[in-house]
Amino acid sequence: MSKVFDYAEVAKHNTAESCWVVLYGNVYDVTNFIPEHPGGSKVILQLAGTDATEEYDPIHPPGILEENLKPEAKLGTIDPDTLPSAEKSPVETGEAVQEGPVDLENLLNLDEIEEVATKQISHKAWAYYFSAADDLGSKNFNNQVYRQILLRPRVFVDCVKCDTSTSFLGHNVKLPIYVSPAAMARLAHPDGEHGIAQACERYGAMHLISQNASMTPEQIVADATPGQVFGWQLYVQNERHKSEAMLARINKLPAIKYICLTLDAPVPGKRELDEKSKNVASNLPTPSSVQGSGSVSTTSTDAKTPAAPKAMGMGQSLFWGTAADLTWKTTLPWLAEHTDLPIVLKGLQTHEDAYLASLHAPQVKAIILSNHGGRALDTAPPAVHTLLEIRKYCPEVLDRVEVWVDGGIKRGTDVVKALCLGARGVGIGRGALYGLGAGGTEGVARVLEILKAETETCMRLLGVERVDQLGMQYINTRAVERDIYDGPAALERPSLWAMAKAKL
């Protein structure tokens, strides 16, 4: 029988030399784990000697504790009567501020849902979701570029029927809209990724699960219906065996139909809002992303696994351990060794890379044009630019692989424009998380309901019945096309391909 501790006893172990924490009623000695914590040592030390459950729970999937701590680290249980009454303010705890039930039907568009979610969720969660690289230029442009495109409605067309169904990689879905991989859903709502999956089921939408989900893949797909389509996002780890173990786990889940390899964020972008949010929670100054590269030293140029910084934003801590050494030549064969699932490459931002990816069909079955929601590199091009580049310089890509896009989608008209440009589907990241924040599973469902209805209205008013009928004749892209890249690679196509293939 396990030992029972008084809170006063736990509270004494609040240093790096002896660091205890209470989690889910158990008392752990995490002293030895401090230097290994992916999120940095500082965040643990801030909670040393306290009940850390509220901080820990929404950002760690079950099982992580057991994976990382040796059995002897568990010292016993806490006497609940000795726990101090919870007096932390919502801001301190980083917990959601519930303002009473939200009437989702009164929220008519994704901006309104974001507005409500912003009030409902904790500042820390909001900062993590809302943040993007540097000055948020790409994040904002991702959306605005859709507004630069005009629609061309045809009239006198029977538009009684309207069918938004399509397929991804041969799997039928009811919507050309899918949920993009976005981390830490339980920060927004306890329903978490499972709730997203449930909402997707209701609308026949595909769900691409984040590797950094706050629930395990098994939990997320637990209630999947037959025919429901999932993908799983992979960030390859420096410790490849960890990634291999995850792939083995995923291979056993038949609901997951493909592996999506994220390429647009081999190192974390600079999300200042996310970094700053830690300060709000802790009232302590924290070393920032900037310090990661520190003063001039040789370590920053050749250290394969840099020491984790003392503390950092959530976005950075999630990146800890992610491999930055992936290449066309080495990574795809390695993947083929560990899974037979088709590969989707996420984060392509140039027509050159789209072309290179297309040379890897059929292992690669789809590519996702994405700048990581503007979170990786500010002033990176929006997917619309890359799509127009592909149409201009190597349209054959569209025949060889499916092209999906994400970033900036807020309206059904945005969805339709992307499809007209040749995208097979569009991903929604923040939208789904804000839906979750606004109303849990029902909030995500509301997001999908709104986008589906807007997409149908747009298709009908264009005079289009099926998504496969959408095409360039339904949009006017003049205002965007004059901004598309026409630099050296484009001008010297043969040498481009030579150069490009040299990288293979």
* Closer residue to a copy of itself in complex, CB, 10/447: 447
Query: Which member of 29, 51, 191, 264 is catalytic?
Result: 264
Of the candidate residues 140, 216, 237, 279, the single one contacting a copy of itself (CB under 8 A): 279
Of the candidate residues 210, 233, 371, 441, the single one contacting a copy of itself (CB under 8 A): 371
Of 72-80, 85-93, 224-232, 457-465, which segment contacts a copy of itself by CB under 8 A?
Answer: 457-465
Give the C-alpha distances (Å, rounded to integers) separating 367 from 11, 35, 265, 294, 386: 51, 37, 15, 35, 12
Of 80-88, 93-101, 185-193, 260-268, which segment contacts a copy of itself by CB under 8 A?
Answer: 260-268
Please confirm, yes or no, whether 372 is among the known catalytic residues.
yes
Query: For the stretch 165-195, what's the b/e string if a residue is b when 16 or more beta carbons lie within 10 angstroms of its beta carbon?
Result: ebebbeeebbbbbbbbbbbbbbbbbebbbbb
| 158 is an interface residue for a copy of itself by CB under 8 A | yes
- Enumerate residues 81-110 that contact a copy of itself by CB under 8 A: 103, 105-106, 108-109
| 388 is an interface residue for a copy of itself by CB under 8 A | no
| 403 is an interface residue for a copy of itself by CB under 8 A | no
Shortest Å distance, C-beta 268 to a copy of itself: 8
- Tokens read off for 107: 């929220």
Of the candidate residues 246, 256, 380, 387, the single one contacting a copy of itself (CB under 8 A): 380
Q: Do residues 288 and 323 make contact, with C-beta atoms less than 8 angstroms apart?
A: no
- Enumerate residues 174-203 that contact a copy of itself by CB under 8 A: 174, 202-203
Helix 430-462 vs helix 192-203: crossing angle, to nearest 10: 10
Q: Name which of 268, 39, 263 is nearest 131 in CA terms.
A: 268
Of the candidate residues 347, 422, 425, 437, the single one contacting a copy of itself (CB under 8 A): 347
Give the C-alpha distances (Å, rounded to integers) separating 388 from 79, 133, 478: 63, 24, 11
Query: Which member of 189, 338, 372, 385 is catalytic?
Result: 372
* Closer residue to a copy of itself in complex, CB, 10/421: 421
- Enumerate residues 482-501 that contact a copy of itself by CB under 8 A: 482-489
- Tokens read off for 304: 């394969």
Alpha-carbon torsion 206, 148, 372, 359, what sign? positive
Q: Do residues 279 and 313 make contact, with C-beta atoms less than 8 angstroms apart?
A: no
User: What's the chain's length in residues?
Assistant: 504
Give dist(CA 247, CA 377) in Å, integer: 28
Of the candidate residues 155, 340, 494, 502, the single one contacting a copy of itself (CB under 8 A): 155
Task: Give the 3-state DSSP-derived string for 17-51, with helices as H, strands as E and coil as C.
Answer: CCEEEEECCEEEECHHHHHHCCCCHHHHHHHCCCE
| 157 is an interface residue for a copy of itself by CB under 8 A | yes
| 154 is an interface residue for a copy of itself by CB under 8 A | yes
Shortest Å distance, C-beta 266 to a copy of itself: 5
- Tokens read off for 398: 């569209």
* Closer residue to a copy of itself in complex, CB, 95/274: 274
* Closer residue to a copy of itself in complex, CB, 270/430: 270
| 476 is an interface residue for a copy of itself by CB under 8 A | yes
| 59 is an interface residue for a copy of itself by CB under 8 A | no
| 503 is an interface residue for a copy of itself by CB under 8 A | yes
List residues bridging with 206 in a β-sheet.
178
Q: How many CB atoms lie within 10 A of CB 107?
A: 22
Of the candidate residues 38, 137, 190, 321, the single one contacting a copy of itself (CB under 8 A): 137
Shortest Å distance, C-beta 404 to a copy of itself: 15
Of the candidate residues 64, 65, 73, 267, the single one contacting a copy of itself (CB under 8 A): 267
Of 49-57, 88-96, 143-151, 397-405, which segment contacts a copy of itself by CB under 8 A?
Answer: 143-151
With a CB cutoff of 8 Å and minimum separation 6, the contacts of 230 are 197, 206, 207, 208, 209, 220, 221, 224, 253, 255, 256, 257
Give dist(CA 387, CA 407) in Å, integer: 13
Q: Do residues 209 and 217 make contact, with C-beta atoms less than 8 angstroms apart?
A: yes
| 406 is an interface residue for a copy of itself by CB under 8 A | no
Active site residues: 235, 264, 372
